[in-house]
Each structure stands twice: as C-alpha cells, then as structure tokens.
Chain A
Amino acid sequence: MATRRTRRSTGGATVFAVGAFALLGSCASHAAPIKTFLVPANDGSTVTNGQVLEFDSRTGAFDGVLVPSQGRSQIQGLTRGPDGSLYGSYFDTNTNTDGRVLRIRPDGGVETFVAAGSGGVYSPLGLTFGADGNLYVANNLGNVLRYDGATGAFIDVFASGLSGPQDVVFGPDGHLYVSNGFGDSISRFDGATGAPLGFFVAPGAFGLDAPVGLAYGRTEDLYVASFPANTIFRFDGTTGALIGLFDLPYRDGLDTLLDIAFGPDMNLYASVRVDGVVTLILRLDPDSGAVLGEFASLAGPLGFNTGMLFVDQACSSLKSAEGQASGCFAPRPVPEPGALGLLALGLVGLAGMRRKTTT
C-alpha cells in the first residue's frame, strides 16, 4: 500500500558539507506542511473494516484512505508514535480473536507491531505512548498492557482491575488515566509504576455512564466522551471535579458519540454517528460545548470506532496537552532520506578536507 503523500525530491548533488546542510534546511522548511486529520473507520463488512481515513486538518476535506481494509479485523484505537508511525489496535470483533497492534509507517507500509495474543492481548482498544517511549494498550480483559515502544515486545501488565477499559491517556501529572466503560468511572494509576491511585472519577459520579474516549485540552482539563447519552464531561484535570457537561443535540439510543480529540485550532472535535448512516465530525467550543459547526462527514455506516487524531504543526499550540494527551500531534520536521545521504557525503567531504589540511 502506498500513501498519496509525496515528498519533495532533494535534486542535485553536492559533496560539500555546507551545501548539504543548506539543502537539509531547505528540505525541512519547504516540504509541504503536514496537516492531516485521521479517523479510524469500520463498517462491519470485510470490504471496509479497519480503514484509516485521511482528511485535511484545516478544512475537513476528505483526502482519501490512508490504511486499507483489514478484512474481518476492526480498528478500535489509533495513536502516533515517537517515530512518526501510526499505531492501530485491531481485532476480529466477530470472534474476539486476532487482537494485535499494527504499525503504519510514514512511508505507508503496514506491519504487525504487537503480535496477536502477545502478553495476553485479547481485544485491544485505546492505546498511547508513555514518556518512557513504550506503548500502553487498553485490553478488554480488564487491564492495560505495556509493550516495548521500539520492538513491540511485551513488557508487563502495567495496570489491572479495570472494568471494560476503553481508552488510556497520560495526564499532565504523568499518571495514567483509564476510562472504565463498563464501570462508569475513570481510574488513575501511577505513571511510573502502575500502582493504583484510586478513582479519578468514581463509578457513576456526576451521572458518568459508559465513558469511552479521553482527551486533555489546553487548560489541562480532562474531557470524557460518554456515548449512551451522547454527552461530553469536562473534569478538572487535578481534582476530578466536574466543570462542564456538554449534552450533544443527538438522540440517545440512536445516534452514537464515538470519540473526542483536540484540533490544531484548540477546539474540541467529536465524532457522532447519526442514524447509522453517516458520521459527523463536529467542532465544539471547549469551554461552552457549543457546536460551532460540522467539520467533516463520513458517508457510509461506520461502526463503533475510536482513536481519531490530528497531525498538524499547529498542534504545538496546545502546549503541555499536545500529542498523546489531546490527540493532536505536532510533527517535528523529519530530514529527507536523500538529504541525510547528502549530509553524510558532506561530512565525508569535510573529513577529507580536514585530512588534506592536516597533511
């Protein structure tokens, strides 16, 4: 599979280090800005299950299918790794088998990162990278599994005793927060050791019902999507006190609030499946919860899927909540492979010049 994203050719050749450095800088600054919005999508059929759809993060225009169907496997979570790859959690929702994590490399290649069943992974849902560079995966058997962020090798059961864990996110305090979909609560764990720190939001508190997606906003408050009532809860990121309750104008029991993420414009985005025939991406005021408009729409009956995220330089405006915590990633400029080669040549050239001057 290939992505449609193309990179500017480095062109020409120079063996001088100064030229290579200049070219490297040119590649980083002149490459088309990355401004994408990615949405995992399943529609229950083997033709389209497990796709990742790509949109323009500024306009909401549909750009195409980034990751093709994975047959019977549905995608239930998506994040971006430190290496710039995307990581998606997949399993066959018909048989609850084949739970695994796939890596979608920046060049578009799709490969297995966490093998099916590794470490007891059963039906993986939300996933996130920690400050230690490792991957944390919500596993529907009631725990969070940790994998080596570079190799995908199983490390340990990081957290357990959960009730239908849906999403995982590291908070600004460095602790791990997990939504208990079945337990109607938010659990908190020590971000370094995995030791339980109790409930951040107690079961059913404030009417919390089946929490799914989690995201931190620019104010470092925790936003929680609760899908049975199409409601977004905003909790104080430090105390867990309820700050706001955004009841989306959709029909409970018919329409589905799927997920939330923050956009590069610092607004809150929510995906809502309406009537089972279309999924709308709504732009919301993160303070009032007011619907500012429909950002994008996905035609077709997409199944329950979470993990939408932005990859956009402007995401850096979210500061401490940027990245894994908010679903808004600001990619660092990545040197072009060709430029790296030229840089190496330039360094060789420099070494040669130095050798000449010293002899």
Chain B
Amino acid sequence: MTTIFEEEVTCAMCGAKQTVQEMGSTSSFGPMDLDTRPPPLQRGTMEMWVHECVECGYVAPELEKAVQGDAQIVASADYRAEIVKAGRVRQASRFVCRSLLDESAGDLVTAGWRRLHAAWVCDDVANVDEAREQRLAALKHFERARKQGKLAMKSVVGGDQLLLADIARRSGEFSRALGFCEAGFAVAALPAFVAKLLAFQRELVLARDVGGHTVAEVDTTPATRGTVH
C-alpha cells in the first residue's frame, strides 16, 4: 500500500505557491527489472519523484530548492522544448528536464538516473522509440561519469557494469552490452549472483532481446539451456 499526503510548497524559481503530492510510504511486490526498475506498485509512485511548478515549469524533487544556474537552464530553449515535447508523456518530460538541470550542475550520475526514469515511464506506455532515446542518453551520462570515477551503482560489486550492460542491451547496443558484461566478469570478488545476472545479460544479447526482464528470471529463463550437440 502507498500512503500519499499533500503539501503546500513555494517554487524556488518563481515563488509560485502550489500543492504537490508527496509519498509517505509504499510497498513493493514482485521483483525489480535488471536495471532496478521497480515493480508496478512502486513504479506508480514515480509521479511523485519529481514535481513540476505549475507556473514556470521548473522541475525538482523539492520545488523549494534550487541551485545557481538552474534559472538559466529553465529559461533555455532546450528545456522549454523538452518539457512540452509532443508524443511523450509529461512525467517522462519532467525527468528529462530534471536531467538537464542535474547535468548542468555537474551531477552526471543523477542526470543519468533521471534519463533512465524517463525511459521507465515511456516503457509503461509502450513508447519504445522514446524509451530507447532516453536509455541512450542515460548511457552517455553514466559513461561520462565513469570517466570521472563516479559509478551509477556503487552498492554492489560489479553492479555498475551490470546496470550499464542492461541499459546498452535495451538500447540495442549489443556490443557495448557485451563489453560491460566482460568488464563485469573481470571485477575482483564478483558476487555469484552478479555473475549469474551478467551471464543472463549475455544470453539476452545473443537472443537479440531488447525487452525488460526481472532479476527473478535468471534461473527460469527458457532460452536455450540444455544439452548442446
């Protein structure tokens, strides 16, 4: 069950007062996807992960907060075009715009995650073209971050390679996906479950599979197990 409450906030960008919905708590049923995309109930809370000011279009997890340079980005042509982009659901556009702000602030890892969140929203409405575009953008941010020594997933050994392999695979970037898998296999003290997930990614690549899969599938996938002649 998810608990939601309303909160009155003041936009840090334009000063407009408004009411936003905030999440108190939520439950999670079912496994997450290989890219950590949460199961449906928890995914339903994504509307509350970032908010859009009803007056100026500023997007933030907390509208009351902004950093130097945000105003310039919000006023930019790119931002204005992204927030109203036709053919894309608004919540995905909010994540894209937030990504622009995070990128401008130099936080490439968060910018990448916002793009991935946008892709998840697009997945839910079966907008495969837009989802792919956002994953490619996420991959670009995460790869740039890696060059700065910053990882998208630090909590699990080999998790960063696993995440990037999935993003690349789902974008149809199969060579890059395999490249991340190989890099993951080479990580010292790789946990067994990460190795299994990397092997599963490799299997999916060879099946030309760009679809979403959950971590629960690893031992149950029907693809091509058994005796080989």
Contacts and interface: CB of A to CB of B under 8 A. Distances in A.
Interface of A: 42-47, 72, 74, 76, 93-96, 123, 125, 140-142, 159, 161-166, 180-183, 185, 187, 189, 196-199, 203, 210, 227-228, 252-256, 273, 276, 301, 303-304
Contacts of B21: none
Interface string B201-219: 0110011111100000000
A93 B175 contact: no
Contact of B129 (A46, A76, A125, A228): A46
Interface stretch (B74-82, B89-97, B221-229): B221-229
A276 to B, nearest CB: 6
A290 to B, nearest CB: 23
A210 B179 CA distance: 13
A44 B225 CA distance: 27
Contacts of B211: 93-96
Contacts, number: 115
B226 A256 contact: no
Contact of B229 (A47, A187, A227, A228): A187
Interface stretch (B61-69, B106-114, B151-159, B166-174): B166-174
Contacts of A46: 128-129
In the A-B complex, the 10 residue pairs with the closest CB atoms = A253-B179, A196-B229, A256-B175, A181-B206, A303-B172, A44-B172, A142-B224, A163-B228, A164-B206, A183-B228
Contacts of B129: 44-47
B197 interface: no
A123 B209 contact: yes
A166 B206 CA distance: 8
Nearest to B139: A276
A162 B211 CA distance: 22
Interface centre among B203, B208, B222 (most CB of A within 10 A): B208
Q: Is the interface of A mostly helix, strand, loop or mixed?
A: loop
B229 A189 contact: yes
B125 to A, nearest CB: 13
B224 A94 contact: no
B173 A164 contact: no
A163 B224 contact: yes
A241 B207 CA distance: 27
Nearest to B207: A140
Given A140-B224, A141-B222, A141-B223, A164 B132 contact: no
A125 B132 CA distance: 22
Contact of A161 (B171, B175, B209, B226): B226
B178 interface: yes
Contacts of A252: 175, 179
B176 interface: yes
Interface residues of B, number: 30
Given A162-B228, A254-B179, A304-B172, 5 more contacts: A45-B132, A141-B224, A162-B229, A227-B174, A252-B175
A256 B168 CA distance: 13
Name the residue among B176, B182, B210 with the largest chain A CB count within 10 angstroms. Answer: B210
A162 B224 contact: yes
12 contacts: A93-B209, A94-B210, A125-B208, A141-B223, A163-B225, A182-B202, A182-B223, A183-B224, A196-B229, A227-B178, A253-B180, A253-B182
B224 A164 contact: yes
A252 B176 CA distance: 9
Contact of A93 (B178, B202, B208): B208
Nearest to B211: A94
Contacts of A166: 206
Contacts of B208: 74, 76, 93, 123, 125, 140, 304
A242 to B, nearest CB: 20
A197 B172 CA distance: 34
B175 A227 contact: yes
Given A44-B172, A46-B128, A228 B210 contact: no
Given A141-B223, A164-B203, A210-B206, A304 B228 contact: no
B4 to A, nearest CB: 31
B229 A253 contact: no
A197 B228 CA distance: 11
B210 A199 contact: no
Nearest to A304: B174
Nearest to A276: B173
B227 A161 contact: yes
A115 to B, nearest CB: 20
Nearest to A256: B175
Contact of A140 (B128, B176, B180, B223): B223
B229 A96 contact: no
A253 B171 CA distance: 15
B23 to A, nearest CB: 29
B228 A253 contact: no
Contacts of B203: 164, 182
Contacts of A123: 207-209
Contacts of B179: 252-254
A123 B210 CA distance: 12
A161 B172 contact: no
Nearest to B210: A93
